[in-house]
Amino acid sequence: MEYDINFQILNYDLFYKVLENICENKDNKFNVITCNPIGYSPCGFPIHHFSIGTGPYEVVYMAGTHGNEIIGVDFVLQLMKNLALGKGKFAFFRPELFTVHFIPLQNPEGFFTTTYAIHNVIKDNDRKKICKDYYLNYRKANNAIHVINDILLHFFKQENLSNNFEMLKRHFWKKFYGRTIILEHLKQFFSEIPIKYDECQLEKFWNSKLQAQMLTFPFDYQKPFINLDCNCIPEITSKHQMLKRNIEKMFHNYPYPNYMLGNFCANSLGINLNENNEYYFNELKRLVQEEGNIPVAPIYGNFPKNILGPFGAPSFSKDNFFYTTENIAILNFLKNCQEKLYAFINCHSTGGQLYFYPYDNSINYKESDFTFYINNRIATDYLKTIQLSYQESGSFETYEGMGYPSKISGFGDILRVKYPASFLLELSRAGGNPLGPYIFPNYYLTMKVNMDACMSLLNTILKVQHLYNKTYEINYDRFGRIKYNEKVRTFKL
């Protein structure tokens, strides 16, 4: 029972060609329903919505929150195709029980910008080799950055400064990013903080950990894209014309390097859809007041995440918070699902992780609900299936189950507060957006193991579905004995 998995790096034209082939395939075992778009991007690109099945248990798969996480969009399309065909474990899909919704691309503006840039570079070249080189060069740069961060942390701990590590680390990279980093830079930085350190120990640490690695800017993985400009975006529709104008304005207002077009995370207004939530907006605003501009991760560049740009600010206004249209669309869609929603899978790109703990558990309710149990049960079965699926393919890889952060930091966290069984899935174990996940055999395995796990998710829902709409209240009688009263769950809206 094999899946139909095709290696594909999409762009605008190929995205719509693949959709057409899926929806009109005469070999489909299960009908694909084309629904109305759930909303539109700022430039007017539709946020498409499809479904398979007509059952009462509704499951949503969404991808493309970040434009540069192209493997997620690819996966949701291949998932939809294989479910429609009844391939692999989907031969046992029961359309009378389930309605599976597919929102393959939440952020079309970032996705089309990234993929137009990629296709402009790769053209007819060996795409698998380009992806492998990209992955290896990304990994080399990222490893060197982690080594330097480890050295910083080691000496911060010696001086009891580890509580301020994130702030001090940001300060280091703001100061030295863009220069070939040498040992003398660390000595200079430590003297300015100041930190007392043993110079021989620092040199030994540097030589043993960094070895022959060296940071040069731009990184090797970015160099194929340095000759790009906004002309890689064709003006084939009025929506494309607006997309191009918005990005040209963005690059005019701030000196972003052109290679960022090939790794474009935000939408065309420069908003990061995952960071587009009021909690993170206020946290970043506080950090900016204390430290000035807050840079993105060094692997991407020394660009401020609080300014509208390719990696995105949390709101269009630096003073007031506003949801962007793409997030309003998904909030409204899920609200309309409400009690019919049994799982929401938000597919991101790299890490091989499943984030599943709810942020709180009935914190505003006298009654307790079963959200925590439902989430953990589904996640446990999903992760077990991933591991078994890898083993069937001769690999002993697995995914990590990730606990919940101590506070809300992403838009996905907002959804997990509202709905049971709302997960953020980091699909690929290979890092390096956008092309890193496309190396072999990682690409094929990413698709296969998650399709297997999708069917596992549906089976687990059938086992726990009776708990979704229930709460329980604990009372004690006069003899101190516990009595459980069951009630109907009131959904958080």
In angstroms, rounded to a whole number, what is the distance separating the alpha carbons of residues 361 and 363? 5
- 56: domain range? 12-111+325-465
CA quadruple 285, 287, 291, 293: dihedral positive or negative? negative
Where do we find the tokens 């778009």? 37
DSSP letter string over 290-311?
A: HHSS-B--TTT-S-BTTSSSSS
Taking the alpha carbons of 488, 335, 48, 261 in that order, is the dihedral positive or negative?
negative
* Domain-located, residue 435: yes
Residue 423 in any domain: the answer is yes
Report, in this order, helix, strand and coil percent for the chain, each rounded to 5.
Answer: 45, 15, 40
Q: Is residue 247 part of a domain?
A: no
| pLDDT at residue number 476 | 73
Q: 366: domain CATH number?
A: 3.40.630.10
**Residue-level pLDDT at 491:** 55
pLDDT of amino acid 485 = 72
Among 8-17, 178-187, 210-219, 333-342, where is mean pLDDT lowest?
Answer: 210-219
Q: What is the pLDDT of residue 493?
A: 43
Each residue of 458-475: pLDDT tens digit?
999 999 999 998 887 777
Q: Is residue 388's pLDDT more than 90? A: yes
Domain contains 444: yes
pLDDT at 121: 96
User: Among 65-69, 112-116, 333-337, 414-418, which is the least confidently predicted range?
Assistant: 414-418
Provide the pLDDT for residue 405.
Answer: 64
Distance CA 80, CA 87 (A): 10
Q: What is the CA radius of gyration of the chain?
A: 24
* Residue range 376-396: mean pLDDT, rounded: 95
Portion of the chain with pLDDT greater than 70, in percent: 95
At 20, list the tokens.
């057409």
User: pLDDT tens across 118-149, in order?
Assistant: 999 999 899 999 999 999 999 999 999 999 99
Distance CA 389, CA 383 (A): 10
Does pLDDT of 231 surpass 90?
yes
Q: What is the pTM of this model?
A: 0.95
Asked if residue 354 belongs to a domain, the reply is yes
**In whole angstroms, what is the distance from residue 57 CA to residue 212 CA?**
55
Q: What is the pLDDT at residue 162?
A: 86
Does 334 fall in a domain? yes
Domain-embedded: residue 133 = no
Q: Integer distance in angstroms from the first to the last C-alpha of the chain? A: 41
> What's the structural domain count of the chain?
1
Residue 363 confidence class, pLDDT cut points 50, 70, 90: very low
Q: Please give the C-alpha separations between residue 372 and each of 158, 195, 334, 357, 464, in angstroms, as whole numbers.
A: 39, 44, 19, 7, 12
For residues 139-168, average pLDDT: 92
- The answer to whether the beta carbons of residues 333 and 209 sit under 8 Å apart is no
**Any domain includes 340:** yes
For residue 120 the two structure tokens come to: 């402009």
